[in-house]
A and B are shown apart, each in its own frame.
Chain A
Amino acid sequence: MCSTCGCGASGHDNFEHDEHDHDVRILHTMETAFDKNNHIAFHLREEFKERGILVLNLVSSPGSGKTTLLEKTALAMSTEYKMAVIEGDQETANDAERIKNTGISAYQINTLSGCHLEAGMVQRALPSFDLDALDILFIENVGNLVCPSEYDLGEDYRVLVLSVTEGEDKPIKYPGIFISSDIFLLNKIDLVDILEFDIEKCRKYLKRINSRATTFEVSARKGTGMDEWYDWLRSAVAQKKQK
């Protein structure tokens, strides 16, 4: 007797069940592993749309300068807009503390061994903010160029920060996340000469991997190119408010 199903057939093991007369059925589904995440992201997006909040998901390698970029942005634009930051890191509240020092609200998510933020985490962070008095929400994702690319957080734009210290060929080494981003911020351009960074080559790779994305070349620390970034933010907020 078959030990798996109790049928009368003999001389077969569990994996030979196609051989005899069982009710084997194929369930065709086209579900993705991210349906649950995407469902939450959909509702987040609806809520952000209703309130006219611009939401940016910042992704990058660790150490690309995301937090410095946000500190500078917070300081430069706090008189114009109400901003808040959700910080994703495996450990410590260091980044949230740095942001709070600029005078805007920040919420730290520690993912522990997790390598990305998920929509559910963003949803749980929202009650910490006064959403009615918010114009821009920045989500600083965990520093990682692989896993965050799969998780929609309900953002309007995915902003990829690439620093010149990482090398020119990052876009073609990690294509998935570059393809799924809308804005490229090439940061630390004050170090181009020191590092003998081939900026032309990097521009070429960025365009080749994603010709639709808009690129800003900035030095968050020195302020180079930041005005263009701020102007873009202003236009993106205005556009969101109109929707």
Chain B
Amino acid sequence: MHEMGVVIEIVKIADAKAKEEHAHGVKRLVLQLGQLSALVPELVEACFPAAVYETLLENAELKIEVIPANGLCLKCRQVFHVVENEFECPACGSEEWDLLSGKEIIIKEIRVW
């Protein structure tokens, strides 16, 4: 499991951003995690309380938005969910597609006061 290291890094970034803004604290942190990223939302949530200790995020609420793994079929241009369709375009059966989303690990929003 490498979530702890990644969550500590995320908290460090958010903490630094909040300090730059001269914030008193962070109320909410919104993360976007792609379905195909190597982070499991439940494990990120489990790590969060330990990672925020003695930072401006100590009382912050963590919100995780899971970004679906969508692909664009290169043959018929259909956008489809690659995992649910077992990596095959449901419209034309093509196995050639580009991943549009699903690998994200993004700090989307830091709500400070």
Contact = CB atoms under 8 A, between A and B. Distances in A.
Interface string B72-111: 0000000000110011100000011101000111111111
Given A4-B24, A26-B110, A176 B87 contact: no
A150 B38 contact: yes
Contacts of A35: 13
A31 B107 contact: yes
Interface string A115-150: 110000000000000000000000000000011011
A146 B105 CA distance: 14
B9 interface: yes
Interface in A5-57: 5, 14-15, 17-18, 22-36
A69 interface: no
Interface residues of B, number: 41
Given A15-B61, A114-B2, A115-B2, A32 B107 contact: yes
B38 A22 contact: no
B108 A30 contact: yes
A36 B9 contact: yes
Interface of A: 4-5, 14-15, 17-18, 22-36, 114-116, 146-147, 149-150, 172, 175-176, 179-180, 207-209, 211
Interface of B: 1-2, 5-6, 9-10, 13, 17-18, 21, 23-25, 27, 36-39, 59, 61, 69, 82-83, 86-88, 95-97, 99, 103-113
